[in-house]
Chains A and B, each alone.
Chain A
Amino acid sequence: MNWSSLGEFAHMGGYGLYVWGSLGMCAAAIAAECWALSARRRRLRELPLDETDDLDPRPIHES
């Protein structure tokens, strides 16, 4: 183990901003992607599925 305290771990030898800025953005990107996926899935379930859907060829995809 490299670190003798949580403070040292957070400080990352002076590079804390860069290292945690990288890990944080990665976590945020993953969270955003997963949220977008579940939002897209939910929107799918809210679509009306009556017969007229067969007549409407427009795609409903976004991200």
Chain B
Amino acid sequence: MPPATLAPKPDTAPRGSWLRFAAPQQFYPLAGKLLPWLWALAALLAVAGLTVGLLIAPSDFQQGDSYRIIYIHVPAAWMSMLIYVVMAFWAGLGLVLNTRLSSMMASALAPTGAWMTFIALWTGALWGKPTWGTWWVWDARLTSELILLFLYIGFMSLHAAIDDERRADRAAALLALVGVVNVPIIYFSVQWWNTLHQGASVSLTRSPSMASVMLAGMLVMTLAFWMYCIAAVLARVRIIILERERHTRWARAVLEPA
């Protein structure tokens, strides 16, 4: 019997079918190719955004220069919510379709989402103290954002607590899906309840109640955060793929190049 080679298996899906990237072995190099571009974009956008936000945009009439925290706080908060929804989506897909890579993606998203939530809470507290006189208040938005952090930590802890990888994926997926109801609560909290946190200044249906330079800086920083989050998540999912597939020939070829 001739020895098996370390060459990767050929594509089993037709060439040009995007579905072949549902296989960890195919997704791994694709993510690898995207990473340098994402890191570069994140860095460039961050420099541009901070230049606008810290050097070019004027002081606020009421808040002075403390408002500049917005260039970190709002992008981080938006990412914290977006990442949770995306995490719940992949976790749900992995649960329903039994696709391993979907569950790996959910696991990769959780830590980055948790970091974004922490940054949103921290910067929010630092903004709240000089502007509204308090580090914290138990209003609807702040409380539901704190619950989001607990949901992320709960997802990661539940997954780590179960030895069987696929059972862990399924249990954590249920937690993620149940918790997704929290995201619209965070988003609409300032409309539904009387909160210390201010209402939305940016909307899809009305013109923004914010000066255009400030809005521009905030949108550039949002893109910077987005590129960074995608990069960090793809880097992590590549590691998770190697961890979980390390018994396969292709993963061994990556981990110990001949």
Contacts and interface: CB of A to CB of B under 8 A. Distances in A.
Partners in one complex: yes
Interface of A: 1-3, 9, 12-15, 17-19, 21-23, 25-26, 29-30, 32-34, 36-37, 40-41, 44-45, 47, 49, 53-54, 57-63
A59 B239 CA distance: 13
Interface string B19-49: 0000000000000000000000000000000
B28 to A, nearest CB: 13
Nearest to B244: A59
A37 B164 CA distance: 23
A54 B65 CA distance: 58
- Chain B interface SS verdict (over half): helix
B73 interface: yes
Contact of B130 (A18, A32, A41): A18
B235 A37 contact: yes
Contacts of A57: 163-165
Contact of B228 (A17, A22, A30): A30
B255 A49 contact: yes
A54 to B, nearest CB: 5
Nearest to B104: A61
Nearest to A17: B126
B163 A19 contact: no
Contacts of B156: 63
B246 A1 contact: no
Contacts of A59: 163, 165, 168, 243-244
Contacts of B129: 18
Listed from nearest, the 4 A-B pairs whose CB atoms lie closest are A13-B65, A15-B66, A22-B123, A12-B65
A42 B232 CA distance: 16
A35 B20 CA distance: 31
A37 B69 contact: no
A47 B239 CA distance: 13
Contacts of A61: 107, 159-160, 240, 243
